[in-house]
Homo-oligomer: A and B are copies of this chain.
């Protein structure tokens, strides 16, 4: 194996990782990267992830953009779209340019800027991202969005699942991929229930979106590979 895979469990730790020349896979299972995967799978032209709410607001008055903003799980007033994947399967998504800002996921994307390639991963496109990576001959860092800087369950589990699929091509780069892989192996047969018991799922449950959580833990629903090109996320052809 000539390539390696490492895992960063929080955007607050990403500066400790050397991302140059590598593929960074950003993951925010609940729900930013699940939403992005869903939108591109349903024909969105591009997704523009922005870290700051003020920047997202500027797009509200521009023509030709669909805008989504979420903080702490809740939709921000004035934005037509929220952070539920079910709103990214509709007719208006096809061909759309979508601007998204979320609590954790878009922060992680912006903090990965120095990487050679930035991909967006979710359980929904797990295998297609793994298969794409295998064609690239590059080291990988999985960048977990976490929750307001803290490490979380569902993003760590995704890291473990991706590592499992890359075991024939990518050696474990440090301790954290070992932790993520063993954690994934321990709970993967009970993924939906495990994530339903997670801290963030409990936060979201208060907002009555258990359906979202169930959807975001489905594996290989789509075969799209979302990749940053300039300031936009587009589907790899």
Contacts and interface: CB of A to CB of B under 8 A. Distances in A.
Contact-residue bracket for chain A: 20 to 34
Interface string A181-206: 01101110000000001111000000
Nearest to A185: B186
Contacts of A183: 179, 182-183, 186
Contact of A176 (B16, B150, B187): B150
A111 interface: no
Contacts of A174: 150, 199
Provide the main secondary structure of the chain A interface: helix
Of listed A153, A154, A175, A187, residue having the most chain B CB within 10 A: A175
Contacts of A200: 175
Given A10-B13, A12-B12, A183-B182, A175 B149 contact: no
A178 B200 CA distance: 13
Interface string A2-15: 00000001101100
Contacts of A10: 10, 13
Contact of A179 (B12, B149, B156): B156
A205 to B, nearest CB: 15
Contacts of A156: 175, 179
Contacts of A178: 153, 197-198
Contacts of A16: 12, 148-150
24 contacts: A9-B9, A9-B151, A10-B10, A10-B13, A13-B149, A13-B150, A13-B151, A16-B148, A16-B149, A150-B174, A151-B151, A151-B175, A152-B176, A153-B178, A154-B175, A174-B199, A178-B197, A178-B198, A179-B179, A182-B182, A182-B183, A182-B186, A183-B183, A185-B186
Interface of A: 9-10, 12-13, 16, 147-154, 156, 174-176, 178-179, 182-183, 185-187, 197-200
